[in-house]
């Protein structure tokens, strides 16, 4: 679930502050719900924003603003989601067979009138002659009174046999997963009675932003819990569970299922960051990184890009302190 404060924070912080040169990879660019992909010697960052916000960097420290993915709001999303005007949430980037796939969300604040779409490109570099995002429209949709889940916060994953899945969800009945067709552009089968793979097990069910990362014999399901976008009152934090099967069940380090409120704490806020969350995970130069945003106490709760290297201990991700 997102609230109107999200747009306020991002609009107020659209103008970039001076870049931070920092060995611990702290960033000083405005970012919400970030994902990152490397192509050749450049990194590309995709975030929530008008038309999907895009940044590029050679070192993951100094960032350059790039044109948004969409100049105008996709018409299918305008038609499907009343009030949608092109402010797109929570993109997810992946690569297969020479094409990049960018999943994204269109939604209505506080409601599960939402939909997930997908666009593809053969390159991420806006200066390449072949650069062009081709939108393929809606992948899945949720509706008020008709679905008990919310079609936002998509993340793409394949299992060990190469079968594609989309994991998504925010509040309502929690995190869902559904198989996609081989094209990655449509769901396989029915969207009725989708199983929940993570939930807080309470009335509020403040859980969202799923991201599945394969490491060794396990799939690791990261999610964000509690509340984003509230400035000093933000309580966002990240948890994780693991499974040997992509569809779950996902258990924490105590053996508790994420469906019933389980989840090992990955990282939470502190005196410098009111809350941290909505993470992705990526591997660069054989090192794994947690990519997420935090609400900066020093900048009045503005959402900022953060990266932390992941170390693995006893089969679980360990993140250095903020």
Q: Which residues are catalytic, by number?
A: 33, 208
Burial 56-87 (b: 16+ CB within 10 A, else e): bbeebbebeebebbbeebbebbeebbeebebb
Rounded to a whole number, what is the largest CA-CA distance in the chain? Answer: 52
Tokens at 232, concatenated: 């000093």
Separation between Cα atoms, residue 280 and residue 10, nearest integer Å:
19
Contact 156, 92 (CB under 8 A): yes
Burial 195-233 (b: 16+ CB within 10 A, else e): ebbbbbeeeebbbbbbbbbebeebbbbbbbbbbbbbeee
Q: What single-letter DSSP state applies at residue 195?
A: P
> Residue 155 phi/psi, 5° resolution?
-145, 130
Contacting residues for 21 by C-beta, under 8 A, at least 6 apart: 61, 62
> Residue 75 phi/psi, 5° resolution?
-65, -35
Tokens at 203, concatenated: 């009335």
> Residue 21 phi/psi, 5° resolution?
-90, 105
Contact 173, 199 (CB under 8 A): yes
- Sign of CA pseudo-dihedral 53, 55, 60, 62: negative
> Residue 106 phi/psi, 5° resolution?
-120, 135
What is the DSSP code string of 63-116? Answer: -EEE--S-SS--HHHHHHSTT--SEEEEEEEEEETTEEEEEEEEE-TTS--EEE
Separation between Cα atoms, residue 85 and residue 5, nearest integer Å:
17
């Amino acid at each position: 679930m997102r609230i109107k404060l999200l747009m306020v924070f991002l609009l107020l912080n659209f103008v970039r502050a001076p870049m931070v040169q920092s060995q611990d990879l702290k960033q000083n660019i405005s970012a919400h719900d970030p994902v990152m992909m490397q192509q050749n010697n450049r990194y590309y960052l995709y975030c929530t924003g008008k038309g999907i916000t895009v940044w590029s960097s050679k070192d993951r420290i100094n960032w350059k603003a790039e044109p948004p993915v969409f100049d105008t709001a996709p018409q299918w999303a305008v038609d499907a989601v009343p009030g949608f005007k092109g402010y797109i949430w929570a993109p997810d980037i992946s690569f297969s067979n020479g094409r990049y796939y960018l999943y994204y969300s269109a939604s209505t604040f506080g409601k599960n009138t939402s939909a997930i779409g997908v666009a593809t490109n053969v390159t991420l570099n806006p200066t390449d002659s072949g650069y062009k995002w081709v939108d393929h429209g809606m992948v899945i949709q949720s509706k008020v009174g008709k679905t008990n889940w919310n079609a936002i916060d998509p993340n793409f994953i394949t299992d060990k046999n190469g079968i594609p899945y989309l994991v998504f969800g925010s509040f309502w009945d929690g995190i869902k997963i559904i198989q996609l067709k081989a094209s990655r552009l449509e769901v396989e089968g029915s969207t009725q009675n989708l199983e929940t793979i993570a939930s807080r097990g309470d009335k509020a069910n403040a859980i969202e932003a799923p991201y599945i990362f394969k490491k060794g014999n396990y799939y690791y399901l990261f999610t964000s819990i509690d509340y984003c976008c509230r400035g000093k009152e933000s309580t966002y934090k990240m948890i994780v569970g693991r499974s040997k099967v992509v569809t779950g069940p996902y258990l924490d380090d105590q053996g508790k299922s994420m469906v019933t409120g389980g989840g090992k704490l990955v990282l939470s806020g502190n005196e410098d960051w009111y809350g941290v969350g909505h993470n992705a995970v990526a591997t660069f130069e054989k090192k794994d990184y947690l990519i997420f945003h935090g609400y900066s106490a020093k900048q009045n709760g503005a959402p900022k890009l953060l990266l932390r290297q992941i170390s693995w201990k006893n089969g679980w991700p360990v993140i250095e302190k903020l």
